Structure 1
């Protein structure tokens, strides 16, 4: 069914709000995770650990990163507040990271075509949640080479509900199992042969989620697209050193490209 103008406007506003939360998540989750790992390591070694625990994902009000002043609601409107404040804090006038507005805008751009591919509100909502969750995971993986389980679980749940909603649950579950098994076996084999962890478990979970979303028949194409983009990235931008390359962003881009190719 075609969406009404009010539904389209509501969709845009909701996606921008999700994008704002995603931007916050990409900043707070790595800090909190690093703190918890350090605390666990100190406790294991019996060393005192006195660092202050950073804010959790939903702890407390948003504050300026420079002066720590609480931000009123009018400074938290996605994109609009950043533009009106000219990218600076109202209190200390220090520059605000453009990451927030970039993630908000990117979430909107990658979700807007869903208005053309989805034909009911349930499908639109589940696909939007899935894409935004995977996008958040891809950003964190690119920055920190970590893929949050929270993002994969939300996206996987959305994919399973999509399978139930479209009467394709069998294909969804099969895609999840085959996607996980294929990459896990590849990871295990490389670890046994070369004693190198070439593929992280986060990438394995991410492919399982994409397999659940797009179905088992598209897993080969997904991996092909992702691998080609990874090779191109290494050839053009990455310096020749031994630093690992995050594979999550390429899996995400491959999934998005393939989904819109199939449905637009």
Structure 2
């Protein structure tokens, strides 16, 4: 009887990998590590993005705000503020997962994540928890600034929150994929500069896509980041370039696809296991 009890306790400790079975302690530990990792350097990971977003708003207000007039029936600053918020959220969510993986690979301690009894799904969820937490905190800080300095009260707060979470999850998953592929910091910087930044800047952050030529208009509508920015804009000010429900479905599909790819990489140890 004691032998059976010992075997049973051992199985519970390491966690069996069956459908529906989650190592909650391991998942909580990994998620906690990812959250604490960015909270320790909060001036770099939270305060700096908020300051950057505030500078964007200040510069646009000084440069063209008074002369721009309304966009889609709302003041120009109120129109671009939600886009800047989502742009900042997705950039930080991507940075959180990608930097964590690349730093672990460069320093050689990725084994600390791969050796514990964690499945690929649990590792994926742990990293995404960190990305979503960082993105949500950044969005909260910028959102409070929009309320205090622009008087912008969210029209549909739950919709805005849903798109913030979706955006952080989508770019967090993309960050995992990029972190798995990248072997050095300069490779990670190239992905950020030539993929993530153009996606964020060319997705209606500072303008309405209705003003674009037909070709660019069509390209914008196949970009999931456009729907993320447009959805947050609808949640914050009640106007959008596209149907928010359709945008949510597109973002859900894109998030499911990128996280499935990230899960497959983590499950098989692609470019992670020597």
Query: Would you call these one fold, judging by a TM-score over 0.5?
Result: no
Which protein has greater RCO, CA pairs closer than 8 Å, 6+ apart? 2
Relative to its length, the structure with more helix (as a share) is: 2
What is the TM-score of this pair, normalised by structure 1? 0.29
What is the TM-score of this pair, normalised by structure 2? 0.28
